[in-house]
Chains A and B, each alone.
Chain A
């Protein structure tokens, strides 16, 4: 009897030890993973406040806000670039929603002949590198006067953005019940009223997610802007590249911090939505 109790206690102790060991191992693994993922971002912040920072100092020997003062200096080129980036991204968001909402509705609510082909066409720009497409467009945009303009850049941003906006909205409409629309119609509501009072409000959260995705994809575009903007349209990433190459790491760090802020803010709102179940994840994630 006494012997039995003894083995039981030692077994319980043993399992506690095993569990604790597992616990420790898990946190070691998580620490490594987090260090790998987060450590590279830290120098961006430090550099933006660094005045003197030479090897082998782990932290700057003098701190300062020169870089930030320069970034917000109205005579410097950063604020205009920030403005152009915003105008382009917001323009891309609006156009992609106007185009993507009907397409998402058509694909999310219906089964029809040729649907596979449409889905394939919508998905194709997500796999073919934008560079391969943009060179051909450039020739025509030069002819049409769209090269080197904001409108031209917005148009090419639609290529990588539209597939993901359509994917998000297709998913949203797949869970949308058009029954309410029929009821409203039977009560005398017209199409415009139905769209504004029934459809838009009920898919609004989905529209916001699609808009955020669209914004972030356009915001991060590099090579499309570089080619179609032809150096005349200076967005934030183009400037970031120029400063990184020039070796002014303080300003480069400050631009980087500004540049990643919208994405981090977006993540605060959509963290739950950004799971692997979301097919549109590839738009920003890969």
Chain B
């Protein structure tokens, strides 16, 4: 057997699964979005679903809300991640336990994170009780509305809570592989702490952090369960809207659901290419 054939044989099961399930799923969704699916008797493709989607203000609201949540949550997570990485980079007693606790959220599924925020952040939740205990509020109504709220704050807090450790660990790895020579040089040239941070550290870690940002952003943009549990029903994010349309009792809504799902996939694919372009442009840090 030629070595080349052997390589492709070893790749075949994985490529088959990805082609059939992943690409197949996308293509079938595409066909259905054009109302074309011969197996169930639909042989006359049309673009009605797309016209409906792109003329529906609810779609734009959902898209806007999804983008707003993803941008805000990922930006806040990035700031917290970089700050945490700078903190955890140093050596101090108890570092192993702190690092373990920092990693803990990585293993917590998003749905549990959403439940945790529900318990913590409602107006009669755990945090409200603590705030009451210290005498800051009298009644639950004194606590800000953070769950099912207009600004999706609960959802954003949950994403920051979950993503900051993920991005923080990536940033930490970048900082460690960078070493502290650059900073030492900057310091010997008279740069103070803040100058070293803004003119040395941040420019050096930006490419790697940007990649983590894209991965986290793409995830939050397409994630379902957190807004499904602790978000408003209307307006809602794009994935939840897609789910509602798909599971609507009116089956005629399904092509619309598929069309929106494909718009979601296309936006995410644009993100992949951005991601690839970034990784290729800059030297690899891992």
Contacts and interface: CB of A to CB of B under 8 A. Distances in A.
B236 to A, nearest CB: 13
Given A55-B140, A132-B261, A220-B109, A271 B173 contact: no
B264 A43 contact: no
A74 B258 CA distance: 40
Contact of B218 (A120, A127, A220): A127
Nearest to A223: B224
Interface in A219-266: 219-220, 222-223, 227, 237, 240-241, 244-245, 249, 252-253, 256, 259-260, 263-264, 266
Interface stretch (B23-31, B46-54, B195-203): B23-31
B269 A127 contact: yes
A279 B284 CA distance: 12
Interface in A89-147: 98-100, 102-103, 105-107, 110, 112, 118, 120-137, 139-140, 143
A30 B222 contact: no
Interface stretch (A4-12, A34-42, A62-70): A34-42
Nearest to A102: B10
B252 interface: no
B241 to A, nearest CB: 11
A56 B129 contact: yes
B85 to A, nearest CB: 8
Contacts of A266: 107
Contact of B264 (A131, A249, A284, A286): A131
A249 B215 contact: no
A190 B252 CA distance: 58
Interface residues of A, number: 91
A274 to B, nearest CB: 5
Contacts of A203: none
Contact of B222 (A129, A227, A245): A129
B98 to A, nearest CB: 6
B271 interface: yes
A29 B3 CA distance: 55
A276 B170 contact: yes
Nearest to B103: A274
B169 interface: yes
Contacts of A259: 109, 111-112
B28 A139 contact: yes
Contact of A267 (B84, B103, B119): B103
Contacts of B218: 127, 129
A267 B107 contact: yes
A44 interface: yes
Interface in A146-185: 155-156, 158-159, 162, 166
Given A223-B225, A256-B112, A285 B165 contact: yes
B75 to A, nearest CB: 15
Nearest to A44: B116
Contact of B25 (A29, A118, A137, A260): A137
Nearest to B262: A132
A277 interface: yes
A30 B105 CA distance: 16
Given A42-B126, A241-B229, A264 B29 contact: no
Interface in B148-175: 161-166, 168-174
9 contacts: A37-B165, A58-B133, A99-B13, A103-B15, A127-B275, A132-B262, A241-B228, A249-B119, A263-B109
Interface of B: 3-4, 7-11, 13-15, 17-19, 21-22, 24-32, 37, 39-40, 80, 83-84, 87, 90, 92, 98-120, 124-130, 132-133, 140, 161-166, 168-174, 177, 212, 215-216, 218-225, 228-229, 239, 242-243, 246, 257-258, 261-262, 264-265, 268-269, 271-272, 275-276, 286
Given A128-B26, A256-B115, 6 more contacts: A37-B161, A38-B104, A136-B28, A223-B243, A252-B115, A277-B286
Q: Please provide the 7 A-B residue pairs with the shortest distance between their CB atoms, ordered closest to farther.
A: A129-B222, A263-B107, A276-B173, A136-B29, A136-B28, A220-B109, A285-B166
